[in-house]
Amino acid sequence: MEEVYGVLQKYFGYSSFRPLQEEIITDILNGKDVFVLMPTGAGKSICYQVPALVFNKLTVVVSPLISLMKDQVDGMRQNGIACVYLNSSLSRKEQDKIYDQLLANKIRLLYVAPERLMQHGFVEFLQKIQISFFAIDEAHCISEWGHDFRREYKDLRFLKQFFPEIPIAALTATATERVREDIIYTLRLQNIKTFTASFNRPNLHYTVLPKKGVSEQILEYIKRHPGESGIIYCQSREKVDRITEKLNKNGIRALSYHAGLDDKTRQKHQDAFIKEDVDIIVATIAFGMGIDKPNVRFVIHADLPSNLERYYQETGRAGRDGLRSECVLFYNYADKSAIEFFIRKKSIVEQEIAKRLLKKMVEFSETKTCRRKLLLSYFSESFAEANCRSCDNCLYPSGTFDATITAQKILSCVFRVGQRFGSGYVADVLTGSSDIRIRKNNHQNLSTYGIVTDFSASQIRTFIQELIHLEYLIQTQDQYPVLQLTKKSLDILKKRQTIMLSLPKVIKEKKVKKDYGKNPELFEVLRILRKQLADEQNVPPYIIFSDVTLKEIASALPQSKEEFADIKGVGKQKLARYAEIFLSAVNEYRLEKKIV
């Protein structure tokens, strides 16, 4: 393994592997098929990049998006690795040059999309070249049971037919047991070794907040995190544009990203985000897979995702560098109904699957227990600790109170409005809202109008959701869901049963101190310097150095090239290219602060 560690240090600037990486690399070098399930930020790329550099042959990497290919290739070229991509963004002349380099064995890694890889002419071309192995990145795209199925990935089932002796490494960040089986079966992997890393991302903090004017809530959150990079997910294009406009009006650098924008505009907005020309991208689910930006400090969901797998992947785009990052979901029960409306347009089989997945997502959103524990259990992983210390339920546990009287008021109101209105309307009646609909229906004359004075309408809606969860109420599955009583409702209405509900949670939202090492002022200086260098080369700043590397430079204050070489993430190529520039900035800081 001496050569492997030499490659790791020389090209990537690391002296040790993360969990499972060494075992995966060893099996790939021994010519075995491998399946790797490793969450975002755990180091999947290293698993195929290191053996690709040890072999004196070509490694072919299948990647679904042009932006993702470019990002990976730019990063490896910074490390001095002979790496290229072939896709439609290149001219015929540029492609011909790459073909010549491949035939001359001058390239170690080739990135291609699945549709190009399986073209008959390209298969014939590759059969003339010595190939070490195929790496299938984002392998979950193969499975129709996955959350991001791509039909063109299905053709990869012919790989073993055309290249029977060449091993395959299938890698993904998220897959249920069924998706894993589907990937292995479709690719015809033989004598396979499966590696599953922990899905736990300890640096991510999970919070679910009741939605009440989500645009304003998001604005207030971002004001507490000035200058930080974040992604905001919304269900509709209209909401994306609305939130983007609100942020811009309040001096926050934000751009929209959705299918209503043309390809050129979407690419321009994505580039602006990864190059740190803007701080925030507001997007539909169309955004994300091509993003390898490690310093996304928060991911906000303005609407409920349709399943936990999608939620896990989208929140996984935060904190890829391992530094503390936040995942915030704004939730109300009406979001569930909106998703169900779209589910009803699917086939019967698809509806059943989608309903099961949505139920798990709602359970995560409404749980009073540890969210991390529930999320990990979805991926069949246990979490032994009683308190994760990094989700809202563990940090700010809800107490309970005798809610018998409050529940009676809610159930009585549902009955008196005729069991034909939703939770928002019932809450408005109970709290004495002057909403015109209430006047139109003469519900201001009901005995339950305005009888709740100790809780707000949003808190009443939260209690209603808990009563639904406890089966004291049901909510219809229509396009406009209404509340109805159940047999259990009578147990409360007739005073035969006491009910305990959760007290409204009080989350002490405060500005979190940024973790940028011992010398945060120097970190900011280095960050500006990194941005200047990146702009000169037209690459994202994190391609130069990650925040983690800058943090270590700012803390260690290296004074020589030898000391700079000891910083994690500084390989041989980057040492030669950037040491003097960054050392000069460090020395200026030392002089200014009179540090000996």
Do 378 and 418 sit in the same domain of this protein? no
Does the residue 102 lie in any domain?
yes
Mean pLDDT score, 87-107: 91
What is the Cα–Cα distance from 141 to 150, expressed in whole angstroms?
A: 5
For residue 341, being part of any structural domain is answered with yes
pLDDT at position 560 is: 94
Question: Rounded to the nearest 10 degrees, how much is the dihedral formed by the CA atoms of 353, 359, 365, 371?
Answer: -80
Report in angstroms the alpha-carbon separations of 120 from 125, 152, 163, 165.
Answer: 9, 14, 13, 19
Q: Quick check: is 511 in a domain?
A: no
Domain boundary residue, one of 448, 471, 502: 502
Least confidently predicted of 64-78, 151-165, 379-393: 64-78
Q: Is the pLDDT of residue 130 over 80?
A: yes
pLDDT class of 445 with cuts at 50, 70, 90 = very high
Size (the chain), residues: 596
Asked whether residue 92 carries a pLDDT value surpassing 60, the answer given is: yes
Q: Which residue has the higher pLDDT, 520 or 410?
A: 410
pLDDT of residue 103: 93
Nearest to 168 by CA among 148, 145, 197, 194: 194
pLDDT tens-digit profile of 269-310? 988 999 999 999 999 976 765 577 889 999 999 999 999 988
Is 375 found in the same domain as 300?
yes
> Would you say 244 and 256 are in contact if contact means Cβ atoms under 8 Å apart?
yes
Residue 230 · residue 222 · CB < 8 Å? yes
Once rounded to an integer, what is the mean pLDDT over residues 84-91?
89
Structure tokens given for 588: 């200026």
For residue 339, is it within any domain?
Answer: yes
Query: Does 412 have pLDDT greater than 90?
Result: yes
- Residue 509 gets which letter from DSSP? -
Q: Are strands 400-402 and 500-502 parallel, antiparallel or unpaired?
A: antiparallel
pLDDT at 477: 67
Residue 382 structural domain: 204-395
Query: Residue 88: what pLDDT?
Result: 84
Q: Give domain status of residue 512, yes or no.
A: no
Residue 241 lies in a domain: yes
Query: Phi/psi zone of residue 452: left (φ > 0), alpha (ψ -120 to 50 degrees), beta?
Result: beta
Distance, CA of 381 to CA of 134 (rounded, Å): 29
Residue 141 has pLDDT above 90, yes or no: no
pLDDT at 403: 92
Residue type, 280: I
- Cβ neighbours of residue 392 closer than 8 Å, sequence gap 6 or more: 206, 207, 208, 209, 371, 505, 507
Mark which of 173, 196, 219 sits at the end of a domain.
Answer: 196
If you average pLDDT over residues 145-167, what whole number do you get?
83
Which of these three, 380, 395, 410, is where a domain ends?
Answer: 395
Q: Which amino acid is at 537?
A: Q
Of the candidates 218, 225, 202, 400, which has an alpha carbon nearest to the alpha carbon of residue 319?
202
Asked, for residue 40, whether it belongs to a domain, the answer is: yes
Residue with structure tokens 């290296």?
558
Q: Which of 333-337, 462-466, 498-502 has the lowest mean pLDDT?
A: 333-337
d(CA 155, CA 187): 9
Task: Write down the pLDDT at residue 333.
Answer: 74
Q: Do 484 and 555 have their domain in common?
A: no
- Tell me whether residue 568 is exposed, middle or buried, using C-beta atoms within 10 angstroms of its C-beta: 0 to 12, 13 to 18, 19 or more: middle
Could you give the number of structural domains in the chain? 4
Tell me what pLDDT residue 244 has: 97
* Percent of the chain residues topping a pLDDT of 90: 60
Same domain, 369 and 285: yes
- Stretch 87-91: mean pLDDT: 87
Given a cut of 80, whether residue 190 has pLDDT beyond it is: yes
Residue 513 — pLDDT band, cuts 50, 70, 90?
low
The mean pLDDT of the chain is: 89
Same structural domain for residues 154 and 234? no
Find how far residue 133's CA is from the centre of its chain: 28
220-246 pLDDT, tens digit each: 999 999 989 999 999 999 999 999 999
Q: pLDDT tier at 152 (50, 70, 90 boundaries)?
A: confident
Lowest mean pLDDT among 210-214, 483-487, 588-592: 210-214
Report the percent of the chain where pLDDT is more than 70: 95
> Mean pLDDT across the stretch 326-340?
88
| One domain, residues 292 and 322 | yes
Question: What residues have CB less than 8 Å from 175, skipping those under 6 apart?
Answer: 37, 139, 140, 143, 146, 183
- pLDDT tens for each residue of 521-559: 999 999 999 999 999 999 899 999 999 999 999 999 999
SS3 420: coil
Higher pLDDT among residues 72 and 315, named by residue:
315
Whether the Cβ atoms of residue 543 and residue 534 lie closer than 8 Å to each other: yes
The residue that leads in pLDDT, 140 or 111, is: 111
In a domain, 107, yes or no: yes
Lowest mean pLDDT among 3-7, 189-193, 290-294: 290-294
230 lies in the same domain as 314: yes
Q: Do 107 and 228 share a domain, yes or no?
A: no
d(CA 201, CA 184): 25
Residues 65 and 96 in one domain: yes
In 3D space, the residue among 4, 155, 318, 62 whose CA is nearest the CA of residue 72 turns out to be 62
Q: The domain that contains 227 carries what CATH number?
A: 3.40.50.300
Judgement on whether residues 258 and 360 belong to the same structural domain of the protein = yes
* Residue 553's CATH number: 1.10.150.80
- Are the C-beta atoms of residues 567 and 552 closer than 8 Å to each other? yes
Query: Which pLDDT score is estimated for 201?
Result: 92
Q: Is the pLDDT reported for residue 369 higher than 70? A: yes
Q: For 7-61, write each residue's pLDDT tens digit.
A: 999 989 888 998 899 999 999 999 999 999 988 777 889 999 999 999 989 999 9
Shared domain check, 29 and 130: yes
Higher pLDDT, 351 or 107: 107
Let me know: does 159 contact 135? Beta carbons within 8 Å.
Answer: no
Q: State residue 290's pLDDT score.
A: 58
Same domain, 365 and 431: no
By CB neighbour count within 10 A (0-12 exposed, 13-18 middle, 19+ buried), where does 127 fall? exposed
